[in-house]
Amino acid sequence: MWNKNYYSFQKKKRESWSAFKTINDLRGLFNEIENCQSGKEFLSKYRDNLLLTPEDKYVPRNVTSLYMHAELVSKIYRVLEKTPD
């Protein structure tokens, strides 16, 4: 299960799950969406924020991070993409 104290612990270390705290941060997000060259690049850039964020914030569905969710979904997508129709 997701450690419910994990975020509080990380917050004390001045880390935050939110990569977007201002309007300019959101503008950066939209720019990132338009210019991101690969999923790996995106995951690398936002890895720390995604690791701090549970996939689902409600018990009992909060068993993994958003980072791990994105990694697994991308792997499944690549397998399905290779499957002939």
Residue 27 lies in a domain: no
End-to-end CA distance of the chain, in Å? 37
Closest listed residue to residue 2, CA positions, set 17, 23, 18: 17
* Structural domain boundaries, residue 81: 1-13+42-85
pLDDT per residue over 13-59, tens digit each?
Answer: 666 656 667 888 778 878 887 888 888 888 888 888 788 777 877 77
pLDDT exceeds 70 at position 81? yes
Predicted structure pTM score: 0.60
- Helices (H) then strands (E): counts for the chain: 4, 0
Strand partners, 65: 54
Residue 32 lies in a domain: no
Q: How many domains does the chain have?
A: 1
Residue 85 lies in a domain: yes
Count of alpha carbons within 13 angstroms of residue 77, beta-carbon side: 7
